[in-house]
Amino acid sequence: MPTPIRTTATRKLRTLLAALLPLLAALLVAAPTAAARTDAADAVPTATLTEVTDFGANPSNLRMYVYVPAGVTADPAVLVAVHWCTGSGPDMYNGTEYDTLADQYGFVVVYPSVTRSSKCFDVSSPQALRRDGGSDPVGIRSMVDWVTRTYDADTDRVFATGISSGAMMTNVLLGDYPDVFAAGAAFAGVPFGCFATTDGSEWNSACANGTVTHTPQQWGDLVRGAHPGYSGPRPRMQLWHGTEDDVLRHPNLGEMIKQWTNVQGVGQTPAATDTPQTGWTRTRYGGTGDRASVEAISLQGVGHNLYGYGMAARVLTFFGLDGGGPAPQPQPGACKVTATTNAWNTGLTASVTITNTGTTAINGWRLGFTLPAGQSITSGWGATYAPASGAVTGSSASYNAALAPGASVSIGYQANHTGNSAAPGAFTLNGTACASG
C-alpha cells in the first residue's frame, strides 16, 4: 500500500472524496471499466513522496518511493533516480531537483532505496549482471512495471539516472534491460560489469581505482551478454565524471565511453567537442546534438561529489523530457541569430532574435552562447538562462517553445560588464551552429 512521506491536506481530501464517492459509484455503473487510465486502488497522493509496497518481484527487499506531480501528463514518462552508497530514496528525492522538474514536465519519478547495511546497490554479483537474474535490477524493473500499470506510462520513455552507486546501477539497468530503458545518465560511475565479483564482496578495488581496462568490443560484449539474443535498439547514455574523483577514478569515464559507443555501434572519435560551462569538456559520439548516442562530460578539478544544481535539467535535455519528448533537431545552417546590445556604465541589455531557417518545426529549443569576459547575466526574458556567465544556455519558455519553419522569437537579458559590452559572437540552437544576422 502507498504511504505518504510528506504531510498533505488529508482532511480536505477526505471531505472531497466523501462528496464524490456517490457520484463515482453512479458513473462506474454506467461506464466501462476500461475507461479508467489509472488503478484508483494503487494511485498515490500527488505532489508528495510516497512509499509503495507490494509492487512486484523484489528479491533483494528494496523499498520503492514514488513522486507523482499534481499535473502528471497522460501516458507519462518514467524516470528512475537511483541513490548513492549510504543514501536512500528519500535522500535522492531531497538532494536532487527531479521532483520539481516533474512538476514542470509531468513525468513520474521512482526512487529505489536499498535496505542492506551498506546502503549500496548490488552491481557486482552474477545475479545482478544478467537479465532477470535476481537482486536489485529485478526489483527496480518491478517498480517501473508498477508505474506503467498504474499510470498507463509511456513504455518508450523510461529513463534511469544515478549518482555513484546509483550511477553504477544505471549502467547495470541499461545493460540488463535494454528493452525497458530508452536512455541513462550516470554521475561518477563505472562501466557495466567492471565491479563484478564472485566472492560475495560488494567492492572491486581494481575497478574503483580505474585499473580495469578492456577493448571497446570486450566492454560491449559484457553488456550484450546480460541479455543474450537481444537485437533491438540500445539505450543512449550520458556520462558525468570529475577528473579528481578519488573514489571511482576518472579513467572509468574513458572505459564507459568505450563500452557504450561500442554498444551503440558508433565510432570512438567525438562527433562534437565543446565547453558548455567553464571547466567542463563535453564530447558527443554518434551525433552532434542534444540526443547524441553517447554524451560524456568531464569536469576539470572536480572530485567524486560532482552532482550540482542545474545538472538535472541537462539530464532532461539529453533524455528529451524537457519539451514533451524528443524534439526534431535543426540541421546545420537551419537557424539564424541576430544579437545587439545597449550598454551604460557597468550594465547592458541584449536583444536576441532566433529564426528557424530550416524546413522542420522545432518544439523546445536551447540557445547556446558564450558571454564575453567580464559579463554576467542578472535577469532575462523569453528564456531561462544558466549559468550567469561563461558558456550560457537559454532554454525556451512554455509559450515560445514552438518555432515553425521561417518563424522567429525575440528574447533578451540584462547583464553587468567590466568594460566589454559586446554581444556574443556565436550561437548554437539545440547543439547546431547558427548563422549570424
Please list the active-site residues: 164
Q: What value, to the nearest 5°, has the Cα angle with vertex 287 and ends 282 and 293?
A: 80
Q: Residue 349 is placed in which grid cell?
A: 541589455
Helix (H, G, I), strand (E, B) or coil at 34: helix
**Cis preceding-peptide flag for 69 (omega within 30 of 0):** no
Write the DSSP assignment of 206-237 as a string of letters. HHHTT-----HHHHHHHHHHTSTT--S---EE
Instruction: Give dist(CA 42, CA 344) in Å, integer.
Output: 59
Q: How far apart are CA 349 and CA 103, in angstroms?
A: 31
Question: Which run of H or of E encompasses 241?
Answer: strand 236-242
- Residue that has been written with the C-alpha cell 564575453 in this structure: 372
Burial of 128 (0-12, 13-18, 19+ CB in 10 A): buried
Chain-centroid distance of CA 390 in Å reads: 23
CA separation for the pair 189, 247 (Å, rounded): 10
- b/e sequence 137-154, b meaning 16+ C-beta within 10 Å: bbbbbbbbbbbbebbebb
Length reported for the chain: 437
Integer Cα distance of 379 and 375 in angstroms: 12
Q: How far apart are CA 178 and CA 237, in angstroms?
A: 11
Collapsing DSSP to helix, strand or coil, 413 comes out as strand
Q: Which residue has the cell 523510461?
A: 158
How many angstroms separate the CA atoms of 167 and 47, rounded? 26
C-alpha angle 26-27-30 in degrees, rounded to nearest 5: 95
> What type of residue sits at position 12?
K
Measured from the Cβ of residue 336, the count of other Cβ atoms closer than 10 Å reads: 18
Task: Report the b/e string of 422-431 with b at 16+ CB within 10 A.
Answer: ebbeebbbbb
